[in-house]
Amino acid sequence: MAEIRLDGVTKTFDRKVRAVDDVQLTIADREFMVLLGPSGCGKTTLMRMIAGLEYPDGGRIAIGGRDVTDLPPRRRDIAMVFQSYAVFPHLTVFENIAFGLRMRKMAKAEVARKVERAAVLVQLEPYLGRYSAQLSGGQRQRVAVARAIVMEPSVLLMDEPLSNLDALLRLTFRAELKKLVAELNTTTIYVTHDQIEALSLGDRVAVMREGRVVQHGTPMAVYDRPATSFVGSFIGSPPMNFLRGRVEGQNGDLRVRLGEHALAAPAALAGHAGREVLLGIRAENIEAETTVVPDAISARTEVVEPLGSHLLLTAVVGDQRLKLQTRTDFPAAPDAPLWLRPEPDKLRWYDPETSQEIAAG
């Protein structure tokens, strides 16, 4: 029941390291927003400022229309799942989950009722009497989640809650978490460096780099049309391919030269005539043939990696490399010639200096 509004939020550490730089972001009521970025991009600092654990040097933070910038965490109506879980070692699972309610001096019977309901949601009922040291990592993570959701907060904050779990558990919990948060229907901010988590969980993803939000949008939008070459290479596995090419020709007949091949270019590249641009294309948007196809880019297969559901090929075009996906029955062989046809509407063009998108298609 709360919209979060970040207005020019800035945080500098030790007077020089700008951890969060003038972030302008609005998270809608009941939205699941993922803050995604490499380590050190400021995503955790930004979340900690929303939680009130860190005080911004500049800007304002509002939750549900109320300016909370100067309020301590306990007056913000938030709950948080810590990366380390921070499950109190001196309290049982029950008391851990009940902690926030006890601080509010809620009646005992009501505390018990709420804790039990939360424990059922995260499948912890058999463990309510145990201590943290007697739990597995996955169970501790559930305690941390239950302790947060039992508060029925306006805003739920999650700081890399899956990063300390092993790969298999992470996959299971990811889906469970998505279901749980969808049922809670509360505004959620989720911090992660894992782009797959970001894509799979978020209603929206805000990609951060060096303290700034580089792009925000739905997972598919961010994946499909990265605003910068950084976003393209950070999101997706494998990352988006980037090929350098020179813009040639005149208005009406613009082409980009890639080795021996000249690719039709959108009119928006006219301003870059005579200069280099970056062509971005994802691995699954390239069609490959082993026989000559007119108008295809001539390449050579370098590496073939069978990945079960598909093959991942590394191909060489001139002096540049790119990755592409093919079906498993594709007759790929190292050193074999290859003809590539990128899907024209999936081409993305970037300025190599600013790394910003110039045009799409």
Partner 1 sequence: MTSHRLGWAPYALLLPSLAFLAIFFAVPMVSAFGLAFQDASGAWGLASIRRMLGDAQFREALLTTLVLIVAIIPVQFALALAMALVINAKLKGAGLWLYVYALPLGISDLAAGITFFAIFTERGWLNSGLEGLGLIERPFIFLNYQTPFWLIFAVVLAESWRATAIIMVNLVAGLQGIPRDYLEAADVFGATLWQKIRRVILPLLRPSIQVSLILRTILAFQAFAVVIALAGSGLTVLSSEAYRWYGEYRDPNVAAAYAAFILVLSVVSTLLFLWLLPVRREQVG
Number of chain positions touching partner 1 (CB under 8 A): 27
Q: Would you count residue 99 as binding partner 1 (CB under 8 A)? A: yes
Give the residue, chosen from 37, 100, 217, 236, that forms a contact with partner 1 under the rule CB under 8 A. 100
333 binds partner 1 (CB under 8 A): no
- Report helix, strand or coil for 88: coil
CA 101 remoteness from chain centre: 32
Selected from 62, 71, 86, 336, the binder of partner 1 by CB under 8 A is 86
User: What string of H, E and C letters represents the secondary structure of 240-302?
Assistant: CEEEEEEEEEECCEEEEEECCEEEECCHHHHHHCCCEEEEEECHHHEEEECCCCCCCEEEEEE
Closer residue to partner 1 in complex, CB, 153/211:
153
Binding range to partner 1, per CB under 8 A, among 107-115, 130-138, 282-290, 329-337 = 130-138
Greatest extent of the chain over all pairs of C-alpha atoms, in Å: 78
Nearer to partner 1, 15 or 90 (CB): 90
Question: Taking contact as CB under 8 A, which single stretch among the options 2-10, 126-134, 210-218, 328-336 is the one that binds partner 1?
Answer: 126-134
Please give the radius of gyration of the chain, using alpha carbons only, rounded to the nearest integer.
25
Q: Which amino acid belongs to residue 198?
A: A
Closer residue to partner 1 (CB): 72 or 252: 72
Instruction: Return the bridge partners of 338, or none.
Output: 299
Amino acid identity at 347: L
Rule CB under 8 A: say whether 104 interacts with partner 1: yes
Per CB under 8 A, which of residues 60..79 are in contact with partner 1?
A: 72-74, 78-79
Among 61, 68, 80, 181, binds partner 1 (CB under 8 A): 80
Closest approach, Cβ 80 to partner 1, in A, equals 5
Q: Which amino acid is at 121?
A: L
- Beta-carbon contacts of 337 under 8 Å, excluding residues fewer than 6 positions away, are 290, 298, 299, 300, 301
The residue among 95 and 224 lying less far from partner 1, judged by its C-beta, is 95
By CB under 8 A, the residues from 198 to 227 that bind partner 1 are none
Q: Among all chains, which residue has been given the structure tokens 């909370």?
A: 68
- Using the contact rule CB under 8 A, the part of the chain among 95-103, 225-233, 265-273, 320-328 near partner 1 is 95-103
Candidates 349, 145, 143; CA nearest to 228 is 349
CB distance 349 to 279 below 8 Å = yes
Q: Using CB under 8 A, which of 11, 43, 140, 147 touches partner 1?
A: 147
User: Which residues are near partner 1 by CB under 8 A?
Assistant: 51-53, 72-74, 78-80, 82, 84, 86, 88-91, 99-100, 102-104, 131-134, 147, 151
